[in-house]
Amino acid sequence: MKEIFIRDEFIRLDSALKFSGAIGTGGQAKIVIQEGEVYVNGEVCVMRGKKLRDGDTVKFKNFEFVIKNEG
């Protein structure tokens, strides 16, 4: 599982997908999230603005990562 390091308290789901390289654009992120293709902590998440914090896991297709806080 890939680790995504953030410096702030949280990162929004759509931004995390782009930052991780799982998705190319914010528009693509919006679509796959709304279509229920993204899992956060093992559950489908359709909120693109969902705040991800240290320890949260995200899965999209065969791409999986965990959020780690650098601070």
Q: Are 32 and 14 in contact (CB under 8 A)?
A: no
> How far is it, in rounded angstroms, from Cα 9 to Cα 34?
24
Residue 70 has a pLDDT of 86
Tell me: the pLDDT tens digits for 24-62?
998 999 999 999 999 999 999 999 899 999 999 999 999
Instruction: Please state the CATH superfamily assignment of the domain spanning residues 2-69 in this structure.
Output: RNA-binding S4 domain (3.10.290.10)
Q: Are 30 and 14 in contact (CB under 8 A)?
A: yes
Residue 53 has a pLDDT of 97
pTM of the shown model = 0.91
Tell me: the pLDDT tens digits for 2-31?
999 999 999 999 999 999 999 999 899 999
Domain boundaries, the chain: 2-69
